[in-house]
Amino acid sequence: MRPVAIVTDSTHYVTREVIERAEIAEVSLYVRIGEDQRRELDITDYAGFYGQLRALSELPSTSQPSIGDFMSVYEPLLASGHDIVSIHLSAALSGTHGAAVQAQGMLPEDRTGGRIEVFDSATAGGGLGLVILAAAAAARAGRTVDEVLARAREAREHLQIWFCLDTLEYLQRGGRLGHAQAWIGGALQIKPILSVESEITLVERVRTSGRALERMVEYMGSRREDGADGWVVQHIQATEKAEALAARGREMFGCEPVFVSEVGPVIGTYTGPGLIGVGGIPARLLQG
pLDDT tens per residue, range 245-266:
999 999 999 999 999 999 999 9
Average of per-residue pLDDT across 147-168: 95
Predicted confidence at residue 185, as pLDDT, reads: 47
Average of per-residue pLDDT across 165-176: 74
Neighbours of 10 (CB within 10 A): 24
Average of per-residue pLDDT across 2-31: 98
179 pLDDT more than 80 = no
Predicted confidence at residue 4, as pLDDT, reads: 98
Predicted confidence at residue 11, as pLDDT, reads: 98
172 vs 111: which has the higher pLDDT: 111
Predicted confidence at residue 199, as pLDDT, reads: 86
Predicted confidence at residue 170, as pLDDT, reads: 83
> Of the ranges 35-49, 166-180, 224-238, which one carries the lowest mean pLDDT score?
166-180
**Percent of the chain at pLDDT above 70?**
94
Provide the b/e sequence for 12-21 (b: ≥16 CB within 10 Å).
Answer: bbbeeebbee
> Of the ranges 47-56, 145-154, 185-194, 257-266, which one carries the lowest mean pLDDT score?
185-194
Predicted confidence at residue 33, as pLDDT, reads: 94
pLDDT tens per residue, range 121-144:
999 999 999 999 999 999 999 999
pLDDT tens per residue, range 206-229:
988 899 999 999 999 999 999 999
Q: Which domains does the chain have, with CATH numbers?
A: 4-157 (3.40.50.10170), 160-286 (3.30.1180.10)
- Report the mean per-residue pLDDT for the chain: 93
β-sheet bridge partners, residue 85? 6, 117
Predicted confidence at residue 129, as pLDDT, reads: 98
Average of per-residue pLDDT across 226-247: 97
238 pLDDT more than 90 = yes
β-sheet bridge partners, residue 266? none
184 pLDDT more than 60 = no
Predicted confidence at residue 182, as pLDDT, reads: 45
263 vs 109: which has the higher pLDDT: 263
Does the global pTM surpass 0.85?
yes
205 pLDDT more than 90 = no
